Chain A
């Protein structure tokens, strides 16, 4: 057959237009199926990518996920680290802030106002970022900002609820801490209740604890809240071990492991759903195309009779399916991405970030679905022009 490109192409598109326009309502059904499939695929894929980021953020509310502590030497319980270790920790990773809280723990005697009996308790000197999303009245900002300089001019401190009960303390009381002959005075900023060992402690600025313990520039441990997935956190630990060879760097595994497990479950579920939705969409398209195949028997017979090769006829249908997939995919994926932003806001309280890589993936998946769904049209390859022309349907 002589090849006449321009004419052929014009004719090709004209036939496709004719095919698409032949039955509007069915076209709509197929487009609706493909569009819905694409929308769900795009929305779920985007949420899947976003869920990873959201979960890592949510899990940071549990607090530190890495702890740097002095390497224990045989026969000693009271080792400390030098504060300079803090400077060796990178301030951000992958553009996200790394929270670091330095703490020095000392055992001291606490006296409330007018009380002569001492309560022996743990005083935690802290400095750095506040790492916990705490459910307490004063839930604000960083640690540095929370120790408000009070009316008395003394530094502020936090008192755990049980420590407060023992020492009979209330907010705005002046508190005296004594260790051996050294004394420090602070004002109670607020009473905290978190259900952890903090409930039994008094938290003061780091320098006060250092003066109290006569350990200037020393800390007991560093708590680090590193961003990222479990794998990223584990890589950080390897890096930190290299940066701080003289200390023990270890993950708080209960948080990192749970985070990884939960994400794997969710991600598995989302992937399974996307796969099922795609299979269903294929079935929808197939059901519609079976009818199309029957209706087009006569057209195909005629095309073949006037010299259309089987392969060219099938190529027509393939192009039609791909075009449908492309249209459905582009429309559906757009709707899906918008949807995922809205849903992300509904679920996590923060709009999901758009991952544009999801867009082409969803469109390509839809085109594949559409082409696979057009499988019933293959039957048209066996149509015999003679019987069609004779009218034997």
Chain B
């Protein structure tokens, strides 16, 4: 009898149930979409901030002071210490290796450059002093587990633009800064000769593209690090390493000195991806290296990220509130309209509890069906919104499904309960009389 009553109510007014169901489904869809996007958005935004460039700088520990002016190190090649390039794959073995999204070593050499129009450095056609930045681009780093990790300066400094293409790894190719190219009349496809200022050994490089970096590289040459090592006579060495890592914004706990921590605190500290704990673990991995946090980038990034995340949670909360309201209001509306029916049931001897139970069962059944449709719709919606705004759809997560199921059931019941309590007070007689 119970089931028959429920089934009958669906059969008798399909249109009405459809509208209520649609409101429920849409409410749940919006809630699902909002939750999935906001669970996903933190990571996406953190990744977005990595376009600020490296937040960690690795330099040799026993180094002389760099004479760095406007981004160019003017130390002679013989001054200062170097680090071995062969250690670099180890960076991807630290505890936080998944958070390290890119790194690139740099070796700078002052060179003299002339274009292919002239034959040698002694009688150059166009000769100019420039800095050659030896680094990686699209470099495959072999990892201990046999796989490869592709990284390079194009990943750490993602705001750099190359008109043409990047040089291939380990090739005799280079890209030249746009100002340098303009001064020397170079374009992609030209051949450029470089030699150190001290000796006449020269290397021919093919220009594959023009670089716009908005930094000192605009006035220089960027080439594979092997070229710089050959010119500097420092095989397999680099001078600084830029590391770009996804981090958790630092709090007071993160800024403490790990040396003063209790063992359990140290464990908690190193198990949070703070920029300083990532720096600490890189330092443990690279012998002789000094790992510094580029505070200006890291602090600013952390602060803005914290704020933006709060804002996003607020937005999620707003959409959940609106969704709850929609679900609640449509449940309430569907109970209010059942007035006459309730009166009749009570006149025939049904108790208030029985009536409430029946209506709740109906509502929950509706919520379940609408919820399933809404969840599917919501995942699609989240995918569309995610793709539109962040260029990638969030992964459907079980957590969202659980929260949504709980929320939908709760809101439906609360939304129905208020008019139901009122319905329980209806006197059957006036309703039957048609008043």
Contact = CB atoms under 8 A, between A and B. Distances in A.
A220 B333 CA distance: 73
B372 interface: no
Contacts of B14: none
B45 A291 contact: no
B330 A283 contact: yes
Nearest to A248: B179
Interface string B82-98: 00000000000000000
Contacts of B26: 279-280, 283
B48 A258 contact: yes
Given A51-B311, A279-B26, A294-B337, A287 B19 contact: yes
B23 interface: yes
A199 interface: yes
Nearest to B293: A195
Interface in B316-371: 318-319, 321-323, 325-326, 329-330, 332-334, 336-337
B67 A120 contact: yes
B310 interface: yes
Interface in A244-289: 248, 250-255, 257-258, 261-262, 264-266, 268-270, 272-273, 276-277, 279-281, 283-284, 286-288
Contacts of A134: 295-296
Contact of A251 (B41, B157, B214, B385): B214
B433 interface: no
Contact of A280 (B293, B295, B322, B337): B322
Contacts of B315: 44, 269-270, 273
B33 A269 contact: no
A374 to B, nearest CB: 14
Nearest to A192: B295
Contact of A29 (B64, B314, B319, B329): B329
Contacts of A252: 214-215
Nearest to A110: B65
A166 interface: yes
B336 A26 contact: yes
Contacts of B44: 265
Interface string A316-346: 0000000000000000000000000001001
Interface stretch (B4-12, B49-57, B137-145): B49-57
Interface in B367-409: 385, 388-390
A225 to B, nearest CB: 13
Contact of A58 (B71, B298, B300, B322): B300
B67 A284 contact: no
A266 B296 contact: no
A194 interface: yes
A33 B333 contact: no
B254 interface: no
Interface stretch (A2-10, A67-75, A89-97, A209-217): A67-75
Given A33-B325, A250-B214, A347 B310 contact: yes
Contacts of A201: 68
Interface stretch (B166-174, B201-209, B266-274, B301-309): B301-309
**Chain B at the A interface: SS class:** helix
A166 to B, nearest CB: 5
Nearest to B297: A62
A55 interface: yes
Interface stretch (A35-43, A301-309, A357-365): A35-43
Nearest to B53: A254
Contacts, number: 218
B295 A194 contact: yes
A291 B333 contact: yes
Contact of B67 (A121, A221, A272, A346): A121
- Bin the interface of chain A by size: 35 or more
B219 A257 contact: no
A131 to B, nearest CB: 10
Interface string B284-299: 0000000011111111
A266 B311 contact: yes
Contact of B159 (A193, A220, A257, A290): A257
A132 B22 CA distance: 53
B127 interface: yes
A245 to B, nearest CB: 16
Contact of A33 (B213, B297, B329): B329
A347 B308 CA distance: 8
Contact of A75 (B22, B69, B129): B129
Interface string A189-227: 000011111011100000000000000000011000000
A58 B303 contact: yes
Interface string B103-116: 00000000000000
Given A75-B128, A197-B66, A291-B333, A62 B23 contact: no
Contacts of A290: 16, 19, 333, 337
A273 B311 contact: no
Contacts of B389: 264-265, 268-269, 272
A111 B52 CA distance: 36
B335 to A, nearest CB: 10
B51 A269 contact: no
A58 B318 CA distance: 24
A122 B68 contact: yes
B329 A284 contact: yes
A159 B391 CA distance: 44
Contacts of A254: 51-53, 157, 159, 214
A33 B214 CA distance: 51
Contacts of B388: 268, 272
A61 interface: yes
B343 to A, nearest CB: 15
Contacts of B297: 62
A122 B69 contact: yes
A121 B65 contact: yes
A169 interface: no
Interface string B59-82: 000001111111110100000000
B224 interface: no
Given A76-B129, A221-B70, A347-B307, A286 B19 contact: yes
B325 A36 contact: yes
B411 to A, nearest CB: 12
Contact of B51 (A26, A69, A76, A257): A257
Contacts of A128: none
Contact of A291 (B52, B215, B336): B336
Contacts of A277: 30, 318-319, 322
The 10 closest A-B pairs by CB, nearest first: A287-B330, A268-B389, A195-B295, A253-B214, A280-B326, A284-B329, A195-B294, A105-B69, A277-B322, A197-B68
12 contacts: A33-B325, A33-B329, A37-B322, A59-B300, A74-B183, A122-B65, A196-B296, A254-B214, A265-B389, A277-B319, A284-B23, A290-B16
Given A122-B68, A280-B325, A346-B310, 10 more contacts: A51-B311, A61-B300, A69-B70, A73-B183, A194-B295, A195-B57, A251-B214, A253-B159, A262-B304, A277-B30
